A and B are shown apart, each in its own frame.
Chain A
């Protein structure tokens, strides 16, 4: 009797398990990402190996991460979500999670443990900033400068405050057209201690102080909104220095061979990762969970670093980071997290910006128009 029961239970399990695999999984996926070198790294490191293992699956990319929040809202409203997996920055993931547009996941259940058996949630650690967010990479926003435009007899810039020093480093700068990061850098260079930056920025006077500091270089600033802008401006020699994502600068320097240097000082760390849209049909959900489980394992995240200089979000991936896939240079030193680069860093302050973004945005835009 007992044996029968066990047998029954196992066969039921087998049925359930096989039922959950092949036939119930959709055979196509729509992945949403950012395009460019970053999407290419995902394609090479996770998607191509996955499709090789599952030859009957097809996947297509939609380069819409930039407007993912708005588009997901519209899709949800229309009751027709066509995306299966969406790559977003952490702050967008938090918003989507709060609005119920992204699915909450149990990280330990969905994601593979580290090779040494550490649970996924411990392996990712603090980087799981929201219940919906499946981290992939750590990237930073930092400055690059034209090495051939550094004035003679002057050291190349290595301090964030050289952005505000028009006398020593004349020339145009490009900054992102939003208050985030710019306000922090301005305060830091206006004599505010790093630990006090957000306390100061909470107050109206502090915001004015930051804008006043930005005012000193406003005439020399070109404002960017897409990650490709600063690399293009640097390659053109239109600007002396500009902020952008560190991976874009890596590509300009190492892959495109432009005379550009990295500043790294006061770089701002941010996270990028996946979210799964809420209320996917079961077959599509099963497929996407299968893919995410594969794409975020320790080896895959380390592989991604062979294509782009962003740090893998798993602690266990760091030792596995090797050489660039085409150039053969060691990638470790180009990671924003490398010790030489991360002497002075900020971490994107999600709580602060969630609370103050609307107010400071309005102020910043009014200041821009002035």
Chain B
């Protein structure tokens, strides 16, 4: 297991290097001279040059990239070109809002999604299956921002149960996380259903039935865990979907999170912030997927023991 963990950890390093480099190059492609932007409309050439020196904007690209990487390791993400504040200070308070939102959304999405997946798998071809799958396909089709607006209209304007905008208490997470989680919930439901159907075809399900287990026992004790192993990997990929969705949902609900800041920064060409945010998003996504891989290993004894895959030779007894 430990060997597996380190192997996966090592595999991440090249991906992180490539990602960070791409982000870095990407940002330099944004048109417009940030120094000129920073100095203002009627700045003199000297003033612009001064700013360029101050932020090291004239250094060769690889020097700038080295500085950026070195900064990342020491927790320094540069200074915002728009506000002049350290980027890390700007991101930190917003980070917790976005992260909590992502977690609460994932939480309920997992709960409902898996339930729908199991129920539809059990009632394959009958009406609970059709209803469950209709809910799921509607979930991946609904525009998040629209759903958010409709929820606000219903439950904050018409029936003032929740606040229209902002995050002051946990209660304020309800509407945004429903909005953000809807798509994920639907995807988990669809995937767990198809995984369940796939699992139910296996020989050991027949064995479980031949042992005299009832159908709910067969599903909960044998099919669910095996399906979960596959659904886990999907959850990792969908975490990225959550981060992306947070950009829109934060806009709709007026939440001061990372997503809203990203859009603002793009309008202002505040590239140190854009760079830091994209790096954080990519890093989070890669970390979550590493975590998922580890969970996968934990759930799957084939990987936990022996560190190999299915094609590893059987051990003699």
Partners in one complex: no
Chain B residues with CB under 8 Å of chain A are none
Binding site for B on A (CB under 8 A): none
